[in-house]
């Protein structure tokens, strides 16, 4: 069984998917700074804190096109998960929690153009469900 397979009863992964997962895992340490910035936005949403600071830091670090929606999209996926797993011990738990909250948000509503107030509400609910 492939070590990257999450479910032993699932159908086998294609070689190209296995290769993509391996490459994502190799690149994960490079994604930690991005995950750190995205996590701050997600945690602030989940805690009901102001977003001005975390969103400004996100835009300063990653570009003006970055938004809470993009932060949730990134953190809810495999790249966000693997970046969280690659984070230094001191911040791994917080970044992984942000991944779980983002995944919960994405599972509850498609995160393509969601309004910020809807994202904030979903983050608060997801944060309660993840703890």
User: Mean pLDDT across the chain, nearest whole number?
Assistant: 84
pLDDT tens figures, 8-22:
566 688 888 888 888
Q: Residue 63 carries which DSSP code?
A: -
Checking if the pLDDT of 130 tops 60, the result is no
The band of 44, judged by pLDDT with boundaries at 50, 70 and 90, is: very high
Higher pLDDT, residue 42 or 30: 42
The band of 2, judged by pLDDT with boundaries at 50, 70 and 90, is: very low
pLDDT tens figures, 96-118:
999 999 998 888 776 665 566 66
Q: Residue 114 carries which DSSP code?
A: -
């Amino acid at each position: 069984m492939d070590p990257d397979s999450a479910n032993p009863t699932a159908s086998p992964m294609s070689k190209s998917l296995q290769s993509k997962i391996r490459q994502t895992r190799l690149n994960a340490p490079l994604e930690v700074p991005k995950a750190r910035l995205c996590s701050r936005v997600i945690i602030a949403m989940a805690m009901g804190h102001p977003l001005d600071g975390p969103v400004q830091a996100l835009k300063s670090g990653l570009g003006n096109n970055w938004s809470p929606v993009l932060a949730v999209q990134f953190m809810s996926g495999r790249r966000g998960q693997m970046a969280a797993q690659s984070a230094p011990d001191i911040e791994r738990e917080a970044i992984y929690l942000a991944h779980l909250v983002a995944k919960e948000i994405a599972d509850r509503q498609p995160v393509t153009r969601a309004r910020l107030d809807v994202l904030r509400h979903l983050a608060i609910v997801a944060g309660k469900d993840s703890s």
